[in-house]
Structure 1
């Protein structure tokens, strides 16, 4: 039986809690995909918007709770590393989904104005986070001015994504491999109240798992000597991002390609708000100035990966080497290279 306080957990106990929470996040995230896909059809908001708002927020809930809890308990490095490491690994997962979709490159088949807009929003949010440490370390009520700017930019971006869904100013050329967002007849079998109830319950499960992950990750970082950046990027970020991998693969198999891409990019944009929420929870000044340079490397790397993804969505290569898009291949190589550079320091 576990001790009441996490401070007294052994490495074995912390690892067990970590594994159980990661499993709960994986299972809950998997089930929530089908619910979001059906809600997208039933509510008429579209797969891209559902991916950005519902699926992105739901699958990211465990990670957001973890980052906020870490910041509140005085671990800004873990909070920051978990947030930005999660965005990088989720972008890598999109390349994995492309490898599993054999009909055409995913960037070609899932091209849409909303997905382009979401990716542009993500790049803008990451750039703002990268600028923050260079600004004066002033706070208003313990909150750095970049934090409300992040929230405002995100909300404005969601409005633009919504506009790109309802009244796009341009459309990608439709080809034989392009998969458009069309309602699935199976979406209308379950009642709308049941779908929302299932969605809410799964959100609670993901949130509780994220809350328990933070003390387990802190113990693992202290007991193994790996440090909070490595644990944040390699362990918590990957484990809390498992739903993105599972949901992307599941969505691709269901033929919901726009949802697969929109869920990853939308989840990444939502994940930038981890830093904003963590800055509010962190009571010792500006979170952006409290983390070392190491975690900021992942902001720059993710910017690079997102820019390459944007080029892939614009270029729309139909078939690449081994049926993998050149941009996906580049992303698949960049992420492990970043991990290797981090571990070599």
Structure 2
């Protein structure tokens, strides 16, 4: 029964997240308060809401491992999504058309992940108002990093505007969009919570670790909306948006750790997780390095056209190996 509940929760989470993104786009385009920026912020919040809900619910049911592994598992799965699409659409060679500036987002995500991994491995346990010091450092580095990126990189707002002009229809009124956004958010809150509860139950019933369940089952389910987003962007030949969405989501997901730590009232949430979670974080770091290497190699024409898909193939292989390793050691 818990498996059926998990599948249904995953299905409703994906469906409502896709709807939420569509309604957020309409609201952002049709309101005067923020214009496209409002749409971009709403869209970012919409696609990340499943991860936020599942992580917070995990804290509520006192399973911090799911809360943390869900974030890094989602980041792993997001890179896998990019690799799979790059392999399937390898004739388009769209990764070779990406501005190397996109790599700055991946670099920031990599550095912040290293920070969290260090805190997990060292058991660092210093708190300020019951919030881990590493979370304050994470937020500070995020703010500084985003300021640097925003000065040197084409804004996500411009990318979102480009995509919106291509696919947005005006069939939905602003009132309908607001109502639909609210209803979709409620459904995601309920479905995402059920996803965590059933995932926790599956961990207990099967004997699988919570970190494995969070890394693969829950993270995979909450990342499925990104599949739709990337697919639409590629079909519209908006490759910058496709890659930016993945790398941006990975960076945004790390902020969920801060929210989860605030909600966790027993000290730093990172001290409550099993060190095995570091395997998930480490695997994500390796995948980020491959993506960064791919950016560099393509920019300098170091990869022949006949071997174009080799980095994406490597990502897929590493993901599968990491899955086996995490299953074994978690």
**TM score, norm. by length of structure 2:** 0.83
Q: How far 1:240 moved relative to its partner?
A: 0.9
Q: Whole-Å Cα distance in 2 between the matches of residues 54 and 128 of structure 1?
A: 28
**Given the alignment of the two structures, is residue 104 of structure 1 paired with residue 92 of structure 2, yes or no?**
yes
**Given the alignment of the two structures, is residue 144 of structure 1 paired with residue 144 of structure 2, yes or no?**
no
Q: Please name the residue that 1:170 is paired with.
A: none
**Given the alignment of the two structures, is residue 79 of structure 1 paired with residue 61 of structure 2, yes or no?**
no
Equivalent of 1:128 in 112, 115, 124: 115
Q: Whole-Å Cα distance in 2 between the matches of residues 233 and 281 of structure 1?
A: 20
Q: Please name the residue that 1:60 is paired with.
A: 48
Does the 8 Å CA contact 1:99/1:323 hold for their aligned counterparts? no
Q: Structure 1: give runs of 5+ residues left out of the alignment.
A: 1-11, 168-179
Q: Whole-Å Cα distance in 1 between the matches of residues 181 and 238 of structure 2?
A: 18
1:155-203 CA deviation, whole Å, 9 max, x = no partner?
Answer: 3333334333458xxxxxxxxxxxx957635547467846963555544
Does the 8 Å CA contact 1:29/1:246 hold for their aligned counterparts? no
Q: Whole-Å Cα distance in 1 between the matches of residues 133 and 50 of structure 2?
A: 26
Query: Against the structure 1 CA distance between its residues 55 and 255, is the aligned structure 2 distance closer, same or farther, given a 3 Å change threshold?
Result: farther
Q: Whole-Å Cα distance in 2 between the matches of residues 130 and 277 of structure 1?
A: 17
Q: How far 1:55 moved relative to its partner?
A: 4.1
Q: Please name the residue that 1:7 is paired with.
A: none
Q: Please name the residue that 2:8 is paired with.
A: 20
Q: How far 1:105 moved relative to its partner?
A: 2.4
Does the 8 Å CA contact 1:72/1:283 hold for their aligned counterparts? no
Once the two structures are superposed, the pairs formed by residues 293-312 of structure 1 within 5 Å of their partners are: 293-312=275-294
Q: Whole-Å Cα distance in 1 between the matches of residues 126 and 218 of structure 2?
A: 29
Equivalent of 1:205 in 187, 191, 199: 187
Query: Against the structure 1 CA distance between its residues 123 and 56, is the aligned structure 2 distance closer, same or farther, given a 3 Å change threshold?
Result: farther
Does the 8 Å CA contact 2:119/2:270 hold for their aligned counterparts? yes
Q: Secondary structure at the match of 2:9?
A: helix
Q: Structure 2: give runs of 5+ residues left out of the alignment.
A: 156-160
Corresponding residue pairs, total: 317
1:269-311 CA deviation, whole Å, 9 max, x = no partner?
Answer: 1111222222212222221122112111111111121122122
